[in-house]
Amino acid sequence: MNRFTVSIILLFTAVLTAIVIIPAWCGKKKGQGMKEQKSSVEQEGLTNPVITIICDNNPYTEGVQTAWGFSCLITGLEKTILFDTGPDGGLLLDNMEKLAVNPQSIDTVVLSHIHADHTGGLQGFLERNSDVTVYMPVSFARSFKSRVQQTGAKIVETEKPLKIFENVYSTGQLGRLIKEQSLIVETEKGLIVITGCAHPGIVRIIESAGKLLEKDIFMAMGGFHLEWTGTGKIEKIISALKKLGVRYAGPCHCSGDKARNLFEKHFGPEYKYINIGAGKVINIEDLK
C-alpha cells in the first residue's frame, strides 16, 4: 500500500468521524443541557400561593372585623407566612378563627414597619404561637425586639434585600424617615409584591423588587399610602405601575377610597384591579 492510498484512507476516516461521531456527541451534550435546565426549573419549586386578608380597614367578608391596619396570610409555600399583624391581637385572633386559620400553622412572621396598625397584634399572636421566626427591619426599637424575644420567638433583622426561604424575599428596609420592608413572593406567574404602607413610595418599591429578581411583577397589593394624595399624582402612579408591567393591583388599607376607585377605573382592561378587604381570599391560580 503506497503513501497516497494511506493518505486517502486517513482522510476518509476523518471525514466519517466529523459526519457521524461529532454531531452525535454534540446532540448528546445539547440534550444534557436541556435536561439540566429543566431540572433547574423544577428545583425552583414555583407554586401559586393563596393570600387571605386577615385584617384591613376595608370590609369584604361579612362577619370579619375591620380596623385601621393590615395583616395577611400567605399559604402554599415552603412555609406559612403572616405578613403584619394588624392593630390588635384580639381582633387578629378573632378574624383568624372566623377564617379558619390556625395560629399554630404559621411558621414565619414578617413585619413591614414599626407602626402599631401593623405590629399591634403581634404580642397577642405570640401568646398563641411563639414557635416562629419574626423578620423585622433592623431599625425597630430595642424595646420592641426585647419583648418579642421574651416570648421565645426568633428574630431576624433585615437591612438589605434578603432571601427568607425558597421563592420568598424581603426588599430590605427602604425609605428615610420611616424604614419599611416589603415582601416578594416568586410564583409560576411572576412576582407578587406585598406592602404594608408603602411609605418609601409604591413605585420605588416595585422598581426595587423587579430589579432584585429581574422578573416581571404579576401583582402588587397592600397599603399604597395614597389616602391623602391628589388625583393627578395617583393617576401618574397608576401609569407608572403599568409601565413597570404590574398585571394586577390590589390597593387597600392606607390607599384610600379615591385611589381604589381610580385604580378600578384606570387599571384596565389588560391590567386588573382587585378589590381587597378583610376576609378576602386571593388564589393566584385563579388569576389569568
- Residue 31, φ and ψ in degrees, nearest 5: -60, -40
Residue 94, domain CATH: 3.60.15.10
Question: Which residues span the domain enclosing 96?
Answer: 45-286
On whether both 150 and 211 belong to a single domain, the answer is yes
- At 15 the pLDDT is 39
- At 12 the pLDDT is 44
Can you spell out the DSSP letters for 213-235? HTS-EEEEEEE---TT--HHHHH
On whether both 14 and 69 belong to a single domain, the answer is no
On whether both 116 and 159 belong to a single domain, the answer is yes
- At 40 the pLDDT is 38
For 246-285, letters b (16+ CB in 10 Å) and e give: bbbbbbbbbbbeebbebbeeebeeebbbbebbbbbebebe
- At 288 the pLDDT is 85
- At 24 the pLDDT is 39
- At 161 the pLDDT is 98
* Nine-digit cell string for 160: 438589605
Q: What is the mean pLDDT of each run of 10 residues along the chain (288 residues)?
A: 45 42 37 33 74 98 98 98 98 98 98 98 98 98 97 98 98 96 97 98 97 95 97 97 96 98 89 96 95
Can you spell out the DSSP letters for 118-168? HHTTHHHHHHH---SEEEEETTS-HHHHHHHHHTT-EEEEESS-EEEETTE
On whether both 176 and 270 belong to a single domain, the answer is yes
Kindly give the interhelix angle for 202-213 and 231-243, rounded to the nearest 10 degrees. Answer: 10
CA-only gyration radius of the chain, Å? 26
Domain count, the chain: 2
Distance in angstroms (rounded) separating the CA atoms of residues 112 and 8: 76
